[in-house]
Amino acid sequence: MEKKWWHDKFVYQIYPKSFKDDNNDGIGDIKGIISKLDYLHDLGVDILWLTPFFTSPMVDNGYDIADYCDINPLFGTMEDMEMLISEAKKREIYIMMDMVANHCSSEHRWFKEAIKSKDNPYHDYFIFRDEPVHPEHKSCFGGEAWEYVESLNQYYFHEFAKEQPDLNFDNPKIMEEIENAINFWMKKGIRGIRFDVIHMIGKEIDNGIYGYGPKLHKRVQELYRTSYGNYDIITVGEAWGNLNDALDFTLPERNELNMVFQFECTSSTNDNQRHGKFTPKPIDMKYCKDTWIKYQNGLNSKSWNALFVENHDLGRCINRFGSLDYMKESAKAIATMIYFQKGTPYIYQGQEIGMLNIRMDSLSDYNDVEVHGAYKDYVLGLKDITHEDFMEACYKEARDNARTPFQWENSINAGFNLGTKPWLKINPNYTFVNALDELKDPNSILNYYKELIKLRKNPLYKDTFVYGTFTALDIDNKDIFLYKREYNHQTIIILVNMMDKKIPYTIPFEIDKVLLKNYNKEYDTKEILLSPYEAIVYLVK
């Protein structure tokens, strides 16, 4: 495998609206990110993935873009962004942007022109029909996927909110516009791209194909050829699919993407026989283990993995994969289990301090357009879910769980700003879950993350963690995740108790030394009683 500069890097995802509010207006901003670059450098991360910072009315918090080549005034100015790129680079940190190619905002000048007349050249930038096609297909954010425009006597298609009209990739001008936007930011010094719902740009609406259409990969390959493929950057796609889909995107000879996110584990708590995340079901850790193994075995000899358990669209990983009773232990176990696999690690803001889901008091506390659309569909419309059950589902799965302001310290508004009401409620647990207190505690989740990152980058072991083979052991064990990484005669074993119970275990290898552990215990025998969520990284003789 050809070695790339980003293979040994850690990516840290920032949700700018919630990271740090420098000007005290209640909304995070670019200057706030700049003010925390030393924190991020000290943590050990190398690449900052910023969710969309472009001009937007913020119906979907920036994923409704009104100008692909300008900065949302809520976040700052172009000069601020240029300063961020420059200041990050001084700390050997690079910026990854979030490109939304599937749709834009209804406030974009393209759409404003498109609805003026059918003859307007921008009309064909979008998907208009005289009548809804396949009207049984609903919007991901609730309600219909077709919106009527009275002045045109036509409907336009929107996979997400009605304020997010889908772009028409059958029109070559759209490809040109997206290519121009990417090239604009590449020349600004951006070193990475995360592509939002990239699997949807091959849709064929008239044929009822909304993802993975026959022209998808040809279009991604064209984007690569005419824009980002001409720069030495890192790319990752949000591409809901399966292992074969991931291979199609990531095989190097296809010239598409470096890696994709797989959501088979993180979405496995969604009951898709009912209403997905709004009818959640318990986690099955054996299924998750099997899925992680499947992607390790399926991708690693040919392409590359993205290693993650949290992002801006998911509930917090402790709530999903761990335990509130063993908060510190399970947070450390999850990180150990995931980030020593082969691939590029992605950490979501707040994950490194153990931020948790938030229990909102009322529906109005939620900002997310998806929550309010689902409430109208399932509670008010179909009456399939009670208000109480819906609120409990939101506590477990709603996207706003990951969007509450970062908890910097035990002070007013958790140190997010100087006191102005934040755009979204702050989790009241900031009094004991915050970065400042954890920096002072040698046994904190934050300091464990720093140890983990330092170990993965240690020159003595880095090649094994980055390029070593992955082999799962004790595969049928539903409680234990055991795997080894091997490279040039060096073997490292990762052992994790995935459960909230003690488990006796016999170590099936000769131990040289312990490289990392999340319990303060000595390991001088092969017979061990694993504590709940115990995680150990061994160097093997």
Average pLDDT of the residues in 463-481: 98
How much is the mean pLDDT over the chain?
A: 97
Average pLDDT of the residues in 95-124: 98
Residue 524 has a pLDDT of 77
Least confident of 36-40, 83-87, 146-150, 273-277: 273-277
In the numeric block, the tokens 């009773």 are attached to: 325
Which tokens hold the place of 200?
């949807």
- CATH number (3.30.70.2190, 3.90.400.10, 3.40.50.170, 3.90.1150.10) of 109-157 reads 3.90.400.10
Domain ranges of the chain: 11-104+172-445, 109-157, 466-540
Residue 170 has a pLDDT of 97
Least confident of 143-147, 367-371, 407-411, 525-529: 525-529
Confidence of residue 300 (pLDDT cuts 50, 70, 90): confident
**DSSP SS3 for 396:** helix
**pLDDT over 80 at 463, yes or no:** yes
- CATH number (2.60.40.1180, 3.40.47.10, 3.30.2320.20, 2.40.50.140) of 466-540 reads 2.60.40.1180
pLDDT tens, position by position, 268-288? 999 999 999 999 999 999 999
Tell me the pairing of strands 192-196 and 234-238. parallel
User: Which residues pair with residue 495 across a beta bridge?
Assistant: 482, 536
Decide yes or no: CATH 3.20.20.80 for domain 11-104+172-445.
Answer: yes
**pLDDT over 80 at 289, yes or no:** yes
Residues with Cβ within 8 Å of residue 347, at least 6 apart in sequence: 10, 11, 12, 13, 45, 308, 310, 449
Residue 225 has a pLDDT of 98
Distance separating alpha carbons of residues 274 and 278, to the nearest angstrom: 9
Active-site positions?
Answer: 196, 238
**pLDDT over 90 at 4, yes or no:** yes
Mind giving me the DSSP string for 479-526? SEEEEEEEETTEEEEEEEE-SSS-EEEE--S-EEEEEEESS-----SS
Residue 512 has a pLDDT of 94
Q: Is residue 539 packed enough to be buried (19+ CB in 10 Å), middle (13-18) or exposed (0-12)?
A: middle
Confidence of residue 523 (pLDDT cuts 50, 70, 90): confident
pLDDT tens, position by position, 16-43? 999 999 999 999 999 999 999 999 999 9
Average pLDDT of the residues in 112-120: 98
Residue 526 has a pLDDT of 86
CA 43, 45, 51: angle at the middle one, nearest 5? Answer: 115
Distance separating alpha carbons of residues 205 and 261, to the nearest angstrom: 25
Residue 67 has a pLDDT of 98
Q: What distance lies between CA 99 and its chain's CA centroid?
A: 13
* pLDDT over 90 percentage in the chain: 98
